[in-house]
Copies of this chain bind each other. A is one copy, B any other.
Amino acid sequence: MAPKPLDYESLNENVKKSVYAVRGELYLRASELQKEGKKIIFTNVGNPHALGQKPLTFPRQVVALCQAPFLLDDPNVGLLFPADAIARATHYLAMTSGGLGAYSDSRGLPGIRKEVAEFIERRDGYPSDPELIYLTDGASKGVMQILNAIIRNNKDGILVPVPQYPLYSATIALYGGSLVPYYLEESANWGLDIKNLRQSISEARSKGIEVRAMVIINPGNPTGQCLSAANIREILEFCYVENLALLADEVYQQNIYQDERPFVSAKKILMEMGLPISMEVQLVSYHTVSKGYWGECGQRGGYFEMTNLSPETVDEMYKISSISLSPNVPAQIFMGLMVNPPKPGDISFMRFAAESKEILESLRRRARIMTDGFNSCRNVVCNFTEGAMYSFPQIRLPPKAIEAAKRAGKVPDVFYCLKLLEATGISTVPGSGFGQKEGVFHLRTTILPAEQDMPEIMASFKKFNDEFMEQYEHHRGYSRM
């Protein structure tokens, strides 16, 4: 009998080729174990609230009032909500035409896009145009939209860091393009060496690939590194010379855990470089309400800003946005709140500042606890998490473990991570999901488990790891390389 249109064998091959490790085999097995009653520590996704982080109070008050605008007329509203939350809800509702239940403009509410532009101007010291800022259902949707516009066929290449966040590999496969990897240097704290870029692009070209865009993730996911201004400048020069659009994934810009390299945006550096580069390099920059000290992942709010794109392309992006009508409006309000938080003197300022500070300082401590924990384990080495929300330790698997994995039909790091999951309930993502050099193995965890649980989690990890290494090594006392 002929296969049916929605049978597996009849599906679009690009759909089948697309792989998304963050919710792959490990996640599915962890979900099964959870159903069976095992306690699982989900560190596979940067999902802070799922691991106990409390939402910031002020933005939730504002959005609750926007959802229930009839409360604004209730004489008792002041018993439950502070006056500045009430004022802010009124401010945002006035930007909508019909409240949160009405589709907004497909690019997002003009008033919110203006607040985003003002935020970018304050951050970078250069002008930002609200007409070039589009709000999206999370940053991922914006990344997918731009990649869909760039990729025409399988000869179009996109430079992507390795290790990379699998959104990029999955989306490039889905739209039928070619991923062109460039390697980050683990031994240089996951730094980006421009030589590696040049090598990657010439290899790709020798295979007939037209490289059209480059992705940077800063701070890095899964690697946690923060790019220096000098490094970003080199990247922009490279993009200028090679005629590449730059996609700057800057969703972790508020997650910085060291003082040497504060976040600096690609847009700011581009503007600083002056003519001709500042008017020539096409740049799309991404941000989100899901990360930072907000962690409002479930709301699905993001934006992208377009720099040096032609007006016709900006219009095309508008058209594509309009097919699904509008990004969700509540998350647009969260975006407004994120870029325009309470100010000193506001009633809610002290509380907001205290809550934010507590979250960020705790993340900084957890980044340290986790790195130190991994580095205390046999055959494990780990760079410090400078930014973002992840730790990406290298696991030096003994040859016998690699053989055992092969016998089990598993990629070695998947084998290790599955054993870790079964033994401890810690659900990680194998490094192979992000890309890594041949014969080198990693795993990714978030640094998000509650701070008070961290020592126990790291002890549990160490116990598992050291026993695993013991089991698969010939001799006791095999030393770390």
Interface 9-mer from A189-197, A306-314, A392-400, A434-442: A306-314
Query: Is A20 at the interface (CB under 8 A from chain B)?
Result: yes
Query: Please, how many angstroms separate the alpha-carbon atoms of A7 and B317 in the complex?
Result: 12
User: Is the Cβ of A5 less than 8 Å from the Cβ of B212?
Assistant: yes
Interface 9-mer from A99-107, A376-384, A472-480: A99-107
Residue ID in chain B nearest A13 by CB atoms: B152
User: Is the Cβ of B99 less than 8 Å from the Cβ of A328?
Assistant: no
User: Is the Cβ of B148 less than 8 Å from the Cβ of A15?
Assistant: yes
User: Is the Cβ of B313 less than 8 Å from the Cβ of A8?
Assistant: yes
Query: Is A463 at the interface (CB under 8 A from chain B)?
Result: no
Query: Is A262 at the interface (CB under 8 A from chain B)?
Result: no
Least distance between A273 CB and chain B CB atoms (Å) = 17
Interface 9-mer from A44-52, A124-132, A225-233, A340-348: A44-52
Known contacts A80-B74, A170-B323, A319-B18, A243 near B101 by CB under 8 Å:
no
User: Is the Cβ of A328 less than 8 Å from the Cβ of B325?
Assistant: no
Query: Is A137 at the interface (CB under 8 A from chain B)?
Result: yes
Query: Is A454 at the interface (CB under 8 A from chain B)?
Result: no
Least distance between A243 CB and chain B CB atoms (Å) = 6
User: Is the Cβ of A316 less than 8 Å from the Cβ of B8?
Assistant: yes
Q: Mark A288-331, 1 if CB is under 8 A from B, else 0.
A: 00000001111110000000011011001001101111111111
Query: Please, how many angstroms separate the alpha-carbon atoms of A102 and B19 in the complex?
Result: 23
Interface 9-mer from A60-68, A113-121, A407-415: A60-68
Least distance between A363 CB and chain B CB atoms (Å) = 16
Query: Please, how many angstroms separate the alpha-carbon atoms of A70 and B64 in the complex?
Result: 11
Which of B64, B74, B331 sits near A68, CB closer than 8 Å?
B64
Known contacts A99-B49, A243-B4, A12 near B104 by CB under 8 Å:
no
Known contacts A49-B102, A55-B101, A320 near B7 by CB under 8 Å:
no
Q: Which residues of B contact A300 (CB under 8 A)?
A: 137, 326-329
Known contacts A55-B99, A141-B324, A104 near B298 by CB under 8 Å:
yes
User: Is the Cβ of B8 less than 8 Å from the Cβ of A310?
Assistant: yes
Known contacts A8-B313, A149-B15, A323 near B282 by CB under 8 Å:
no
Q: Which residues of B contact A79 (CB under 8 A)?
A: 76, 79-80
Query: Please, how many angstroms separate the alpha-carbon atoms of A150 and B310 in the complex?
Result: 32
Q: Which residues of B contact A13 (CB under 8 A)?
A: 152
Q: Which residues of B contact A106 (CB under 8 A)?
A: 23
Query: Is A174 at the interface (CB under 8 A from chain B)?
Result: yes
Query: Is A481 at the interface (CB under 8 A from chain B)?
Result: no
Known contacts A5-B245, A149-B11, A151-B12, A101 near B299 by CB under 8 Å:
yes
Within residues 227 to 262 of chain A, which ones have a CB less than 8 A from any CB in chain B? 243-245
Q: Which residues of B contact A48 (CB under 8 A)?
A: 98, 101-102
Known contacts A63-B67, A298-B104, A12 near B150 by CB under 8 Å:
yes
Query: Is A6 at the interface (CB under 8 A from chain B)?
Result: yes
Query: Please, how many angstroms separate the alpha-carbon atoms of A77 and B322 in the complex?
Result: 39
User: Is the Cβ of B323 less than 8 Å from the Cβ of A174?
Assistant: yes
Query: Please, how many angstroms separate the alpha-carbon atoms of A359 and B420 in the complex?
Result: 56
Known contacts A137-B328, A152-B12, A297-B102, A174 near B60 by CB under 8 Å:
no
Query: Please, how many angstroms separate the alpha-carbon atoms of A105 and B23 in the complex?
Result: 9
Q: Which residues of B contact A326 (CB under 8 A)?
A: 297-298, 300
Query: Please, how many angstroms separate the alpha-carbon atoms of A5 and B309 in the complex?
Result: 9
Q: Which residues of B contact A149 (CB under 8 A)?
A: 6, 11-12, 15
Query: Please, how many angstroms separate the alpha-carbon atoms of A61 and B71 in the complex?
Result: 9
Query: Is A96 at the interface (CB under 8 A from chain B)?
Result: yes
Q: Which residues of B contact A15 (CB under 8 A)?
A: 148-149, 316, 320
**Interfacial residues, chain A to chain B (CB-CB below 8 A):** 2, 4-8, 10-13, 15-16, 18-20, 22-23, 31, 45, 47-53, 55, 57, 60-61, 63-65, 67-68, 70-71, 74, 76-77, 79-80, 96-106, 137-138, 140-141, 144, 146, 148-152, 167, 170-171, 174, 212-213, 243-245, 280, 282, 284, 295-300, 309-310, 312-313, 316, 319-320, 322-331
Known: A11-B316, A23-B322, A328-B328. 12 other contacts (CB 8 A): A11-B150, A12-B150, A15-B320, A18-B319, A23-B106, A45-B103, A49-B98, A101-B295, A103-B297, A174-B320, A328-B330, A330-B330
What are 27 A-B interface contacts by the 8 Å CB criterion?
A5-B282, A6-B245, A6-B313, A10-B150, A11-B150, A12-B152, A15-B149, A16-B316, A18-B323, A22-B322, A23-B319, A47-B102, A49-B101, A49-B102, A50-B103, A53-B101, A76-B79, A79-B79, A100-B296, A101-B295, A102-B297, A137-B137, A140-B324, A140-B325, A170-B323, A298-B326, A300-B328
